[in-house]
Structure 1
């Protein structure tokens, strides 16, 4: 992204930047970045059953929704101007396995949810998670072979999963697993199967983070990850240059959009990705970030509405085109007045 040329300001008192800040109209007139409902993507957890909204204890205000209620949620997104939802399934324990076969079952919860929403509210985009952790008994994003995540075996499963979602009508498949080479294999499979217009949103720079805890509760993923956790495939929090290499590789393999996850602790990575590549860049305002704001607001420590709005605006300042946030509905309602 090009930078405006810098010029020295006139000396004080001729230069008084506060003049512009004195009135709401002048602040609004020169605001560099704005947030709108069109910038938001609402991540939603889905659950089996009918007329079920199961509150998520670690994420105040969020619930797992049955498919019928998910359709109503999609209608709300449409009415508020939120362009897309990101879907994550709560998989019942008896559907989990070592090989994660339920992930590509055409009648699995995710595939049924996709078909229902696209039939009822086709104008809302559906971004569907491609990772094996909801479906595996161990909770890893890939397949375990001899107590290690096998990259290439995992890719084979991820390709089947992405194809099942595309066949069900997903607009975007979003590999969040961080296996090497999976974007190219998924893109090739989509092309060969006729899904040439299915977008790939790659979680290209996904960090091994402590901010994911509430999400794992919501997803029902409580695995024995081993002594290294997910650090053998998710990125180290101290690395920025590596994130650019990961993004470059995924773009070369056919990703349409790229994502940085988590969000606020990695705004520097968002900015670097946007500046370096100029491609559609997304960030995930993850469960831990969301729940911390909610908890602090409930304790009276902060103005929760103001902090949430400020947090999301920061993503726009960092160059993000879209933001996945659990606060999408409440923020869109406030933005629309």
Structure 2
């Protein structure tokens, strides 16, 4: 299965599946005095969250895989400056797989937003939404995000937007899942038109795997009931590891996923147009670029981004949380 996913971006039955989901064993045994953790088929392994056992896994398969080869196939690089590669190399070369029996759900402070696919579909049905556009993000909302969401909503004639920030562990310096949810909850309540958006917490974590992860996140949103999915330039990428058009090419290569990708070029603010656009006739001197990384830098210096960059409600929320030493950035 793993070889098929890495080489063909599909499961052995032919279903599109571009990114592996693996249970990697740690390099060291968690118990003192034992150096290596091994698991054999037939054994039962306890899966814990915050030091509480939440599920049991019956091991059906255990295998080893060379991490350099896995990283190259998954991320297109084995350089550990890539955060996904770095996370991979923190573990061992050993992996296990099997059936999981859930004992207790791992609930968190994000519980009001933790919709599972069945619940999300019920919410859409209750709102009489048949055409829903999904939006994946790991950043707090800025004006370019708003442009993407409402342009897709209008041009694709959708009934609503499912805003689904990823809230699992992120690389150091990224906005925390909690602040993302609070910022979007504020925006939907105070700014967005009534009945235009639903907010949910996506209980996963970013792999920063570029085009493979872009397709993977679209498949996930199809499972949640979305008919359309927004794909920005360099979607789910990091640094300079992927070309801005890599995701679009992979969507085209894989074909029909049961959800329609909605592609966008870079969105920027034009001072002459006094608006957010993907393209215009004005020169480079009028272009004001928008990025989550730049926003993080400004907040780190105690500065609020200008209104064309981010709404005041959101920037003031973040600055207020920073002043109270609340965890705004992942560490």
Structure with greater contact order relative to length (CA < 8 Å, sep ≥ 6): 1
TM-score range, shorter chain: under 0.3
Greater helix proportion? 1
The two structures have a TM-score, normalised by structure 2, of 0.26
